[in-house]
Each structure stands twice: as structure tokens, then as C-alpha cells.
Structure 1
């Protein structure tokens, strides 16, 4: 499980990070609102722990924006504000839980576990976008009923794109998820595999679905979408 901690108090941030890592979580951290926004939009986290008051952009604004964009990641607010009105404001903005400072580490971990349990739906066995379908159990892919043969790497790349659709996936995410390494995001390696995948799923007589978003990455997009 991967957790993002956004807290400008270094002592609190390091304490929470250490507690989560001791429980086996993978943890990223940052202290500024704009950076937190970018991380949440571009990386797949299982949970975010957000301070309300942050430099650059506050926690409420961050959560409102990611909710408008369709992100359902659970959010636990941390705040020194303990008034009922503050808690209600945070939850109404899209937060899933609210914990006031100072807090018990034991309680924090319990709330984290509860939020993650809530978020654990049954994993889908099939993914679909338009007429492009993937069966995760049989590891098969088809488009408009026509089977498509993919390599293991191409299969995982398409799976990542299907899981993210209709949102784009940037090159850094692809190299991290598919190759489990941090290549330069401009490497031709990603482009080569994308081109091979594009050639296989763009069948004659059918509109293209896999597109490049300049400066961002790649996206599965309906032909009529702008």
C-alpha cells in the first residue's frame, strides 16, 4: 500500500512517515500544496494524509480539485483545528476522515487501516474502453471481437492505460510501473513500446484509440473527444 503524507511541519511529517513505514506501508512525502496536487494527479496512491494548512495551496482546495477530476483516493485530514465546524468543512469538501493534532499514533494507524479496508473493492477481472477489452484472468485482449496478441510488457502497458482511462499516463509513471525503474522520462524506450502497442490495437477500419499528449504522456481517448 502506498501513502502520500502532505505536512509542512517536518517533525510531524517524519513521525507519521516512520510510523507508517514500520507498519509496512510505502510512503512518499511533501510539504507544499502545489506539489501535493501534482503527485496526487500523476501517481497512484492508496491513501493521502493531508494537513489542512499548507504553503501554496491548502488541503481543502487540493481535495476539492481532485474530487472534481474524479479521483476517489481516501483522504485523511490532519489539523490543529478541532472545532466541529472545521471538521464538517473538511469532510464536506471531500475528505474521508479528520484527525486533530496532537494525535495518538495508535489512533492514526487505526484510522489508516479503516480507510484502506473501505477502499478495497473486489478487483475487476475485465477492463474495457470503447471496443477494446482485456480479460485479466485469461490475459487476453480483443478489439471489436478480434483477438490481439501482446507481449507481457505490452499487456501490462495496455492494462495501465485502461486502468487510467480517460486520464493520461505520463512517461515517468510508465517506467516506474512497467519497468520498476526510474528512467529519464524522455527515453525512447517508452515510445518504442507505445508504437508497437499502437500498431497492434489500431485495426483497419476502426478509429484510433491510443494517442500522445504532448508534454504529458499517453491516453486512451474516444475519437470524438478533444
Structure 2
């Protein structure tokens, strides 16, 4: 397995490289974000370890750029502060995991192995279906270039359906994922929210993306997007 480590602290970089090589990994090291960007785009890595604060392109920006370019190599982000906001930002920018400094080397290796078992899976930070775009981190939605205002529940419903675009989702599935197991109200609440969502994301734009499948449930259909655009 080939690992890229982007870390500007030479002592830390060398220690991580020696340790990972002792575990059987092949390790490349970049001491700044610009070199890290070049190496990440020119070489096929199985995982990356990115320090959040490095000279040049910082780890946050590099992670976001790689994800935007369709690079889904698992990324473990190293954060110096360990604050909740810092950790949340790392994950929102597309990182798969984070580790606060100072860290246990045993934990670093264990988390890397966990990421490698997971492999490269498409996990976009921003969801896109046709010209419909949803950013879970900022709770913003756009149809084309126009931003759409949604309530918290409408947003949750749309996010769930975008993550399962093309699938037929029953009322029970929607209730389970968008509400919770303690919900004891009328299941027809799903119909109400689907209708509300259509009025926000479809009707003003002449779209028919949110489909009702008779006796089965609902589907966000990428075929019924403007100009026949497909899921991306």
C-alpha cells in the first residue's frame, strides 16, 4: 500500500515515514501543500495523511480540491488544535477521519488500516443530482445558479433522497431516516413534505424530478432534470 504524508514538521514526517515503512507501507513525504498537491495528482495513492496547517496549500484546501476533482483516495487529516470546529471543518471538506496532535502512532496506523479496508468510495462533500446541488455542511441548496430556501426537515428529506437518487423509497424508509424511531404520528406526513419540496425545487423551475411511484413510494429521478441531465 502506498501512502502520501503531507507534513511540514520534518521530525514528525520522518518519524511517521519510518514507522509506516516498518509496517510494510511504501511512503512518500511532501513538506508543503504545493508539493503535496502535485504528488497527489500525479501518483496513485491508497491513502493520504494531510496536516491541516502546512505552508502553501493547507490541508483543508488540498482535501477539498482533490474531492472536487473526483479523487476519492481515503484521507486522514492531522489537526494541531483538536477543537470541535477544526475537526468538523476537516470532515466537511471531504476528509474521512482526523487525528489531533499529539497523537498515538498506534492509533494512526489503526485508523489508516481502517480507511484502507473501506477503500476508495465516492463520498462527495457536496451532493449533485442534475443541476440540483446540496451542501450538507452549510445547509444550502441550489437549483442551477439559484439558491432555494428550505426548512430543516425539507432539507433532511432532500438530502436523503439525493443520496439515494434513482431509488424508490417507501414512506417507511423515509420516516426511518428523516424522522426517527420514536415518531408515532401520521405516516402521511411524508406526503405533506414531498408536496412542499416539489413546490420548492421543481415547480418554480419547470422540473419533475421528485416522482411519486404508485403503491411503492417516492423517487428523485435524475432523468427528469432540465435538459435530461444525469446524476453526477
Determine the C-alpha separation between the residues in 1 that align with 2:108 and 2:27: 15
- Relative distance call for 1:2 and 1:104 in structure 2 (3 A) is same
Deviation at 1:24, TM superposition (A): 0.2
Q: CA deviation at 1:101?
A: 0.5
**Alignment of 1:47 onto 2:42:** no
Distance 1:85 1:29, change over 3 A: same
User: What corresponds to 1:124 in structure 2?
Assistant: none
Distance 2:120 2:57 in 1: 29
In structure 2, distance between residues paired with 1:45 and 1:24: 15
Quick check: 2:7–2:13 contact (8 Å CA) kept in 1?
A: yes
Tell me the distance in 2 between the aligned counterparts of 1:90 and 1:81. Answer: 12
Listed as ranges, the matches of 1:15-164 within 5 Å are 15-119=15-119
TM-score by length of 1: 0.52
- Deviant stretches of 4+, over 4 Å: none
| d(CA) in 1 for partners of 2:120, 2:93 | 22
User: C-alpha offsets along residues 79-98 of structure 1, whole Å, 9 cap, x if unaligned?
Assistant: 21111111000000000000
- Matches of residues 176-215 of structure 1 in structure 2 within 5 Å? none
SS at match of 2:57: coil
> 5+ residue gaps in structure 1?
122-226
Partner residue in 2 for 1:10: 10
The question of whether the paired residues in 1 share the 8 Å contact of 2:90 and 2:98 is answered with: yes
**Aligned residues of 2:8 and 2:32 also touching (Cα < 8 A):** yes
The structure with the largest alpha-carbon Rg is 2
Shift of 1:120: 6.8
State the alpha-carbon separation in 1 of the partners of residues 3 and 11 from structure 2: 18
Paired residue secondary structure (2:12): helix
Mapped contact 2:72–2:120 kept (Cα < 8 A): no
What is the DSSP-based 3-state SS (H/G/I as helix, E as strand, rest coil) of the residue aligned with 1:98? strand
Q: Any gaps of 5 or more consecutive residues in structure 2?
A: 122-232
Aligned length: 121
Structure 2 Cα separation of the partners of residues 88 and 119 of structure 1: 22
CA distance in 2, matches of 1:19, 1:64: 27
